[in-house]
């Protein structure tokens, strides 16, 4: 009987540690997601600007493409993470299919 209660207590302690770890990791996961959106937008649109600029011999399209990608990424981040719930003051859950 004592072995059984020890197993239950051990599982409860493991479940508690796992829940605490998930709470900390969720904020870290959001930060990495936002960082990857910013870098990905700059790389994608900078690459498009570089290709077009190389084809038409206008070197300024590369930095313009990077800035456009950054602006689009910021807009998407604000749309996805920037909404506040009415009255509660906490951030709403992210929009999208990944949650």
pLDDT more than 70, % of the chain? 62
The pTM is what?
0.61
- Indicate whether 87 belongs to any domain: no
**Residues 59-95: b if buried by 16+ CB within 10 A, e if exposed:** eebbeebbebbbeebeebbeebbeeeeeeeeeeeeee
Do the domain assignments include residue 70?
yes
pLDDT digits (tens, 9 = 90+) for 8-59: 667 776 766 666 666 666 678 888 999 999 999 999 999 999 999 999 999 9
In a domain, 90, yes or no: no
70 contact partners, CB below 8 Å, separation of at least 6 = 38, 41, 42, 45
Query: 68-91, pLDDT tens digit by residue?
Result: 999 999 999 999 988 754 444 555
Asked, for residue 75, whether it belongs to a domain, the answer is: yes
pLDDT in tens, 51-62: 999 999 999 999
Full residue range of the structural domain in which residue 7 is found: 2-81
Residue at 88 is within a domain:
no
Q: Which residues touch 15 (CB under 8 Å, ≥6 apart)? A: none
């Amino acid at each position: 009987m004592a072995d059984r209660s020890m197993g239950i207590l051990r599982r409860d302690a493991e479940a508690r540690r796992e829940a605490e770890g998930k709470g900390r990791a969720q904020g870290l996961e959001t930060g990495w997601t936002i960082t990857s959106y910013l870098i990905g937008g700059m790389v994608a649109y900078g690459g498009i600007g570089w290709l077009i600029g190389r084809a038409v011999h206008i070197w300024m399209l590369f930095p313009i493409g990077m800035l456009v990608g950054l602006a689009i990424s910021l807009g998407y981040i604000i749309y996805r993470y920037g909404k506040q719930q009415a009255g509660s003051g906490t951030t709403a859950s992210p929009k999208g299919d990944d949650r």
